[in-house]
Amino acid sequence: QVQLQESGPGLVKPSQTLSLTCTVSGGSISSGGYYWSWIRQHPGKGLEWIGYIYYSGSTYYNPSLKSRVTISVDTSKNQFSLKLSSVTAADTAVYYCAREVRRSSSWPFDYWGQGTLVTVSS
């Protein structure tokens, strides 16, 4: 059973960089065929895709966040990470990591982390 677990600071100061790591267990990031995403959810709001990385290191980001986002992968640790720079209170959200797969002409997220709340405040 694949499991994903987010980790990182729950409180970040404005203008600083938010850094989160997702540790994958029960499966290898290097096995290919999966896209590893970060998704966030503002309090009481819907889901917002941030970006994904493939095990090879190729990435795609949400155009609205692209200038501030970096997603990287460490296959040796079976982890991938998110960095979001110059944060403001508007970046306060629950951050999820999730696995996406192409399946039956669709792109489902079949496994999700439990989510971690990151608050941006001084």
Partner 1 sequence: SSELTQDPAVSVALGQTVRITCQGDSLRSYYASWYQQKPGQAPVLVIYGKNNRPSGIPDRFSGSSSGNTASLTITGAQAEDEADYYCNSRDSSGNTVVFGGGTKLTVL
Interacting residues toward partner 1 by CB under 8 A: 37, 39, 46-49, 52, 60, 62-63, 96, 100, 103-110, 112-115
Report, in Å, the least distance between residue 112 CB and partner 1: 4
Dihedral sign (CA 21, 23, 77, 53): negative
Count of Cβ atoms closer than 10 Å to residue 54 Cβ: 17
Rounded Cα gap, residues 77 and 29, in angstroms: 9
Tokens describing residue 2: 């694949």
Rounded Cα gap, residues 36 and 39, in angstroms: 10
Report, in Å, the least distance between residue 29 CB and partner 1: 18
Report, in Å, the least distance between residue 62 CB and partner 1: 7
Rounded Cα gap, residues 6 and 4, in angstroms: 7
